[in-house]
Structure 1
């Protein structure tokens, strides 16, 4: 296999465009299907596909915001009008969000942790798929990935959990690169 300079350059320069800087247009149905196909091409020991997708788009984004604000107010997470308004905008302005749910379950050979990692890889590959088709993507979890009422409202079933929400849209800016880890400082060689 020879070196792929274009792919290497992409990985060395890849950046997240955060949700506030993602706008219309979002992907069409064909593009979204291709992104989900790319997302699903991850290491998956046992070929279990221990994940599934939930699509949030159009007017559903505002409805989600209202319901998140209600849950946040009821649980004390949103104590002010400003905090409730912030929750209303969680799935805005990006035109589309994909929820990635881990369906990891006990298996005779494949640990649940490994299944969970596969679902996490799906989130990152979905970001790559969006970038490959000319869109920006932002992978987040936020509190509602861990709150049982919010997760259920967003589509998680019993025994499932969200590993991420990937906001997708057209980038409105190019963000500056951030500091990256010092590879020497985080790398050791095992010597026995």
Structure 2
């Protein structure tokens, strides 16, 4: 741990140590573990108690059929998709120890703006990633152009206006996760002092 993080509380230092990885092997969380981990997603801010989170867990023998649904959706969206890309997705979705489809139950005509419902769903995913890290597992958030395919969504149990925020690949890191190099926070924060701020990231 770097000197900059060693000054923080254990909890904050832990959060600062999280990095994504798709180098994942068995074991994945068991039934009780994944239920507890996904419960962290339900602790996300949720204006209006819209509860948009829908987590579809895929594991074991069901991974291959799910991967085949993915590739079918890819071909539906783009009939000219390269075969190499099809094979890569088929392999990844078949071999990951666990996949979580990140459903969003959205109410377009509800009392809360759609973007706030989407942000609550995304905040839930971040909580899940942190919970995976806390329990010794790894996660990787991916999406794809096929994720909006109506037939794919219906086949996994999501019907309009429900949508997908992507997928989490879940398992045990194959090796120690190298801490990703992060940008300097000084480029992404500013103190407002009664006049417009500027950010180093935009210079």
Q: TM-score normalised by the shorter chain: which range applies?
A: 0.7 to 0.9
CA distance in 2, matches of 1:189, 1:145: 39
* Matches for 1:92-103 after TM superposition, within 5 Å: 92-103=94-105
User: How far did residue 170 of structure 1 move?
Assistant: 1.0
Q: Is it true that 1:122 corresponds to 2:132 in the alignment?
A: no
1:79 equivalenced with 2:82 (yes/no): yes
1:11 Cα deviation after fit? 1.4
Task: Give me the TM-score of the superposition, normalised by structure 2.
Answer: 0.82
1:137 matched residue in structure 2:
139
Under a length normalisation based on structure 1, what TM-score does the superposition of the two structures give?
Answer: 0.86
Using the alignment, how far apart are the partners of 1:141 and 1:71 within structure 2?
Answer: 13
Q: Which runs of 5+ in 1 are unaligned?
A: none
CA offset at residue 148 of structure 1? 3.0
Structure 1 residue aligned with 2:184: 182
Q: Structure 1, residues 125-178: CA drift from partner, whole Å, max 9, x if none?
A: 111111122111111222232333333333321101111311111110223233
Instruction: Report the Cα distance in structure 1 between the residues aligned to 2:8 and 2:175, rounded to whole angstroms.
Output: 27
Give the match for residue 68 of structure 1. 70
Distance in 2 between residues matched to 1:39 and 1:131, nearest whole Å: 13
Give distance in 2, aligned partners of 1:84 and 1:77: 11
**How far is 1:184 from its partner?**
2.0
SS at match of 2:99: strand
Number of aligned residue pairs: give it.
186
Contact 2:142 2:167 in 1 (8 A): yes
Do the aligned residues in 2 keep the contact of 1:146 with 1:162 (CA within 8 Å)?
yes
Residue 15 (structure 1) aligns with:
19
Kept after mapping to 2: 8 A contact 1:139/1:167: yes
Residue 45 (structure 2) aligns with: 43
Preserved CA contact (<8 Å) 1:144 1:151: no
